């Protein structure tokens, strides 16, 4: 045990003495009420409203409840910055963690040394590095210098979000005191207990750099976390999801700073520096049974668990999701979506048919995105009808396609026959976001019964395969098999979907929020008599797929079914949808899966409109009440357990139910 390790203990008294302020909701402007109402600029060289960050913060009145954005221009700001408990709803935005830095060198006490202290609820920080420069380059050879706690950031308030931030120090870098915090894509550097406290915090895709063992330090033992959960009822804990832990020397993932200390690493890459036993009980020896340390699905040379402490907990994937998914662990009240954190694409490419952009076709623009792309790239598509078949390959994720509105930007083609080759638009990778574009397959769009010369064949407008795909204000127009919603999780918000037969089909796990569905069966000029809105292909009880329609409206004539089974466990729910269409009284059809009716999950909850009378529906339709619906098919329980909807450039534009 090293002498420098005991200094954390005095703060426990403070933890007990502090109780969080009431968690109010901040008010903003814009249709979704989360745009900041006011922006203040801090610039060291006098080109803003303030020269110091503290000056800008002091201008926010106590009792503030409206989002205020404080933009901090590039520079190294040498000051200790404090946000008091009654200055809520502050959004600090730097110019990136490499260029906007707040640094100071106070030391000795964890509650006095912090370069940055944040007490109120509802604080957002983006693109800033917090540094404590005290003894940053301490080394074993330099024995006259004492190692003392020197905190870079101290975070108390509930609902605090740090995005693309840096935390740099040596001992006790990030004092994550208490309450719920979300750290996304952050960089955290230190040696000893450098992420500590009793916060209830999520660290997604963060780079953790343990400087123990590396030059110039020479220190041999380091601890990434010192989590201080006090009792079985204490909600505190640190969850690391994805990301990487670098370091040298003899590195522990954590040691218990409280008798119920709780830390989980999930899917993180752990470097070789991690010592085989992995964890320590510290001053809680003998109470190991209450400590909750776990590693699940981690990789890297330090991830071998065969020699870990025997009291490490085992977690299965399903248990992790249930207890430590973003929504269950810190976001059950949906606060993350109500915070104005913007994820800005790193680069924008413009497509313009008339040569006023970087490319004249959409496919060329997509091919210009490098293979294995992992940074958001925005492709803006100017108004026009683009006659091309467009495909995004598996290795080009993180693309944001933005048209000029679904009435103005259209991608159209007329291939037919096969569902997997006819599609006008095919999206393979994970993390694709689309806004304001209509995808159309024009093949036989105006087919009619009186036109027997033309064949009626599948003709897909869009085929979506990747996970974490989001379509906002888009159009999907076709006749048969318009939207091939193939597999994985997709969210369609305020979209328009038109077709006649099985026009929303596939095995995906999808949410259709506030969409307009137009079944053209029975309407002129088609004249076709029978139509099917969905053909969902869930294959087993364990298959997570299904289509949930929430709100929105269904139009259509003829004899229209809400769905027919395209798999033995087909699952479709309409919730609060206006069924204006002439839905046929039985509503649903077993198609080729007769005999499996009990395994289908078709349900209609709180729908209105002329087609919503359920008195003559098929007897095997499932009953759901509102509470059951929210529990199983609410946005966070059904498709957003890992919080992906908050991790894309539209997260702040879309209001999720
Ligand atoms: C870790 O921190 C040290 C000291 O600041 C630095 O030299 C090194 O480049 C960092 N490593 C990574 C992977 O960021
Ligand atoms: C698709 O459109 C092209 C050009 O507009 C036309 O030449 C072709 O015949 C059409 N193909 C089908 C299958 O309708
Ligand atoms: C439905 O689609 C048909 C054919 O494109 C169109 O004529 C009609 O206006 C659409 N109805 C609605 C409500 O959008
Ligand atoms: C459903 O939509 C129709 C047509 O837009 C409208 O007239 C009707 O009032 C709506 N019904 C409900 C229950 O919202
Ligand atoms: C609902 O049905 C009634 C009776 O058939 C009809 O008069 C009315 O126009 C319909 N309303 C809508 C919005 O379709
Ligand atoms: C639903 O349909 C049944 C039978 O056709 C009818 O008796 C009942 O009044 C209808 N309910 C509503 C709310 O229109």
Q: Tell me, what CATH number does 297's domain have?
A: 2.160.20.10
Report the DSSP beta bridge partners of residue 548. 511, 573
Q: Average pLDDT in the 401-421 region? A: 94
**Host domain of residue 179:** 67-313
Closest C-alpha among 154, 22, 43 to residue 88: 22
CA-nearest residue, atom 3 of ligand 3: 520
pLDDT, greater one: 238 or 556: 238
Q: Which protein residues touch ligand 4 with a CB less than 6 Å away?
A: 553, 578, 580, 608-609
Closest CA to 180 of 23, 324, 330: 330
Number of the ligand 1 atom closest to the C-alpha atom of 214 = 3
> pLDDT higher for 335 or 541?
541
pLDDT over 80 at 480, yes or no: yes
Q: Rounded to the nearest whole angstrom, what is the distance from the C-alpha of residue 518 to the centroid of ligand 3?
A: 6
72 token code pair: 């901090």
Q: Is residue 567 part of a domain?
A: no
> Mean pLDDT: which of 103-107, 514-518, 653-657 is highest?
514-518
Pocket residues for ligand 6 (CB within 6 Å)?
613, 615
Residue 302 included in any domain: yes
Residue 506 maps to a domain: no
pLDDT of 474 above 60: yes
Out of 609, 610, 611, 612, mutate this one to test ligand 4's pocket (max ligand atoms within 8 Å of CB): namely 609
Nearest residue CA, atom 13 of ligand 5? 580
Task: Determine, yes or no, domain membership for 369.
Answer: no
Closest-CA residue to 602 (of 566, 572, 568) = 572
Residue-level pLDDT at 304: 96
Q: Does ligand 2 come within 6 angstroms of the Cβ of 443?
A: yes
For the stretch 31-60, pLDDT in tens is: 445 567 789 999 999 999 999 999 999 999
Residue 148 pLDDT > 70: yes
pLDDT band at 452 (very low <50, low <70, confident <90, very high): low
For a ligand 1 pocket test, name from 136, 167, 189 the mutation site with the most ligand atoms within 8 angstroms of its C-beta.
189
The DSSP secondary-structure symbol of 646 reads G
For residues 86-93, give the mean pLDDT.
93
| Distance of alpha carbon 255 from alpha carbon 196, whole angstroms | 10
From residue 624, give the alpha-carbon distance in Å to each of 274, 502, 575. 49, 24, 10
The predicted pLDDT at position 7 comes to 25
Q: How many CB atoms lie within 10 A of CB 99?
A: 15
Can you tell me which atom of ligand 2 is nearest the CA of 416? 13
**Percent of the chain clearing pLDDT 90 (strictly above):** 72
Task: Supply the pLDDT for residue 172.
Answer: 94
- Supply the pLDDT for residue 280: 96
Return the higher-pLDDT residue of 198 and 637: 198
Mean pLDDT is lowest, of 31-45, 280-294, 358-372, for: 31-45
Q: What tokens does 217 get?
A: 């330090």
User: Does the CB atom of residue 363 touch ligand 5 within 6 A?
Assistant: no
DSSP string covering 269-312, please? EE-TTB-TT-EE-GGGTT-GGG-EEEEES-BSTT---TTS-TTP
Ligand 2 centroid to residue 401 C-alpha, Å? 26
Assigned domain for 328 exists: no
The predicted structure's pLDDT at residue 15? 33
What pLDDT is stored for residue 6 in this prediction?
Answer: 26
pLDDT tens per residue, range 614-647 = 999 999 999 999 999 999 999 988 998 877 887 7
Residue 85: pLDDT over 90: yes
Q: Which two tokens stand for residue 350?
A: 């413009």
Tokens of 227: 């989590």
Residue 445 in this model has a pLDDT that exceeds 60: yes
At residue 572, the pLDDT reads 98
Distance 533 CA to ligand 4 centre (A): 19
Please tell me which of 122-136, 583-597, 637-651 the model is most confident about, judged by mean pLDDT: 583-597
Percentage of the chain modeled with pLDDT above 70: 88
Active site residues: 193, 502
- Atom of ligand 3 lying closest to residue 496 CA: 14
Whether the upstream peptide bond of residue 204 has omega within 30° of 0, thus cis, is: no
The mean pLDDT of 104-119, rounded to a whole number, is 92
Distance 211 CA to ligand 1 centre (A): 7
pLDDT at 314: 96
- Both tokens assigned to 406: 């679904």
Instruction: Identify the pLDDT of residue 139.
Output: 63
Q: What is the pTM of this model?
A: 0.65
Residue 29, pLDDT score: 57
Kindly report the backbone phi and psi dihedral angles of residue 15, in degrees, each rounded to the nearest multiple of 5, phi listed first.
-60, -40
Ligand 3 pocket test target in 412, 440, 520 with most atoms within 8 Å of CB: 520
Cα dihedral sign, 547-552-556-562: positive
Q: For residues 529 and 523, what is the distance between their CA atoms, to the nearest angstrom?
A: 9
How many domains would you assign to the chain?
1
Comparing 162-176, 397-411, 425-439, 638-652, which segment has the lowest mean pLDDT? 638-652
DSSP labels for 156-218? -SSSEEEES-EEE-SBS-EEE-SSEEEEES-EEEESEEEEEES-EEEEES-EEEE-TTSTTT-
- Could you tell me which of 312, 329, 321 has the C-alpha nearest to residue 237? 329
pLDDT band at 176 (very low <50, low <70, confident <90, very high): very high
- The rounded distance, in Å, linking the Cα atoms of 479 and 501 is 7
Q: Note whether residue 606 is domain-resident.
A: no
Give yes or no for residue 580 CB within 6 A of ligand 5: yes
Does residue 176 lie within any of the structural domains? yes
Q: Which of 64-68, 259-263, 335-339 has the lowest mean pLDDT?
A: 335-339
Average pLDDT, the chain: 89
For residue 43, tell me if it sits in a domain: no
Cα distance between residue 111 and residue 172, in whole Å: 11
* Rounded distance from Cα 254 to ligand 1 centre (Å): 20
Residue 339 above 50 pLDDT? yes
């Amino acid at each position: 045990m090293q002498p420098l390790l005991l200094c954390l203990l005095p703060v426990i008294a403070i933890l007990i003495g502090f109780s969080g302020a009431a968690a109010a909701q901040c008010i903003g402007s814009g249709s979704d009420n989360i745009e900041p109402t006011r922006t203040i600029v801090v610039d060291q060289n006098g080109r803003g409203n303030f020269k110091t960050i503290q000056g800008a913060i002091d201008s926010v009145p106590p009792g503030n409840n409206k989002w205020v954005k404080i933009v901090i221009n590039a520079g190294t700001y040498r000051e200790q910055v404090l946000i008091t408990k009654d200055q809520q709803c502050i959004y600090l935005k730097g110019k990136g963690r490499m260029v906007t830095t707040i640094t100071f060198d106070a030391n000795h006490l964890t509650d006095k040394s912090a370069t940055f202290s944040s007490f109120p609820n509802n604080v957002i920080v983006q693109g800033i590095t917090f540094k404590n420069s005290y003894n940053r380059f301490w080394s074993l050879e330099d024995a006259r210098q004492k190692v003392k706690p020197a905190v870079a950031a101290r975070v108390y308030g509930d609902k605090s979000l740090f995005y693309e931030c840096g935390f740099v120090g040596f001992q006790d870098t990030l004092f994550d005191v208490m309450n719920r915090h979300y750290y996304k894509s952050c960089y955290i550097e230190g040696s000893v207990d450098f992420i500590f406290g009793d916060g209830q915090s999520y660290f997604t895709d963060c780079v953790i750099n343990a400087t123990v063992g590396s030059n110039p330090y020479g220190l041999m033992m380091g601890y990434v976390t010192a989590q201080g959960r006090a009792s079985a009822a204490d909600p505190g804990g640190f969850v690391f999801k994805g990301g990487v832990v670098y370091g040298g020397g003899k590195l522990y993932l954590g040691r218990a700073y409280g008798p119920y200390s709780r830390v989980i690493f999930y899917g993180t890459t752990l470097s070789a520096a991690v010592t085989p036993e992995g964890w320590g009980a510290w001053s809680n020896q003998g109470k190991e049974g209450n400590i909750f340390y776990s590693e699940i699905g981690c990789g890297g040379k330090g991830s071998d668990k065969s020699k870990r402490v025997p009291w490490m907990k085992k977690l299965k994937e399903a248990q992790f999701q249930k207890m430590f998914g973003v929504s269950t662990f810190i976001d059950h009240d949906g606060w993350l979506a109500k915070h104005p954190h913007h994820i800005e694409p790193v680069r924008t490419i413009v497509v313009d048919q008339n040569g006023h952009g970087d490319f004249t076709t959409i496919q060329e623009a997509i091919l210009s995105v490098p293979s294995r792309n992992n940074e958001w790239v925005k492709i803006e598509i100017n108004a026009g009808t683009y006659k091309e078949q467009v495909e995004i390959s598996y290795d080009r994720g993180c693309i944001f396609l933005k048209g000029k509105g679904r009435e103005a930007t259209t991608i159209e083609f007329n291939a037919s026959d096969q569902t997997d080759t006819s599609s006008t638009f095919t999206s393979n990778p994970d993390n694709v976001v689309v806004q304001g574009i209509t995808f159309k397959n024009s093949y036989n769009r105006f087919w009619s019964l009186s036109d027997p010369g033309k064949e009626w064949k599948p003709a897909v407008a869009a085929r979506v395969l990747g996970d974490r795909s989001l379509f906002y204000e888009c159009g999907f127009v076709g006749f048969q098999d318009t939207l091939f919603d193939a597999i994985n999780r997709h969210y369609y918000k305020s979209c328009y979907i038109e077709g006649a037969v099985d026009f929303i089909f596939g095995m995906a796990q999808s949410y259709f929020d506030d969409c307009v569905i137009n079944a053209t069966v029975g309407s002129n000029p088609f004249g076709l008599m029978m139509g099917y809105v969905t053909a969902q292909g869930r294959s087993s009880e364990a298959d997570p797929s299904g289509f949930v329609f929430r709100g929105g409206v269904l139009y259509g004539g003829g004899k229209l079914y809400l769905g027919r089974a395209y798999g033995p466990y087909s699952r479709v729910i309409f919730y609060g949808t206006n069924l204006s269409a002439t839905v046929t009284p039985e509503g649903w059809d077993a198609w080729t899966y007769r005999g499996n009716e009990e395994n289908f999950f078709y349900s209609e909850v709180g729908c209105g409109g002329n087609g919503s009378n359920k008195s003559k529906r098929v007897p095997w339709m499932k009953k759901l009440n509102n509470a059951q619906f929210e529990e199983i098919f609410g946005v966070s329980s059904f498709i957003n357990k890992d919080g992906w909807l908050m991790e894309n450039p539209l997260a702040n534009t879309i209001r999720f139910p």
